[in-house]
Amino acid sequence: MKKEITLPKSKYEGGYTKQEILDIIRPLGIHHKTFNKKMGVNTGTISKTGELLFYGYDICLAIDCCLNNREKTFTEWD
């Protein structure tokens, strides 16, 4: 059974900042370069302060790919 990944609450409603993502993946032992490769190119949004925000679903998917040493499947790409 696949373990569900639960993210902490972000300071923004629309998604997570790069720093928040680093704070999430470090305790999991995931290197940022590995995470970025698994994350790939994704859609995101911009906060009112101009920060790029990444959607929680995409972050969870990239974490799952890192932890299970796999690539996204065709149906997982958005």
Residue 3 lies inside a defined structural domain of this protein: no
Residue with tokens 């994350």: 39
Rounded CA separation 57/31 (Å): 19
pTM: 0.89
Residue 63 lies inside a defined structural domain of this protein: no
Rounded CA separation 33/40 (Å): 11
Residue 20 lies inside a defined structural domain of this protein: yes
Structural domains of the chain, count? 1
The values of phi and psi at residue 5, to 5°, are -100, 125
Q: What is the pLDDT of residues 23-35, one digit of tens each?
A: 999 999 999 999 9
User: Where would I find the beta strands (DSSP E) of 1-78?
Assistant: 44-46, 52-54
Q: How confident is the model at residue 75 (pLDDT cuts 50, 70, 90)?
A: confident
Range of the domain at 20: 12-52
Residue 21 lies inside a defined structural domain of this protein: yes
Task: Return the sign of the alpha-carbon dihedral for residues 10, 21, 49, 57.
Answer: negative
Residue 45 lies inside a defined structural domain of this protein: yes
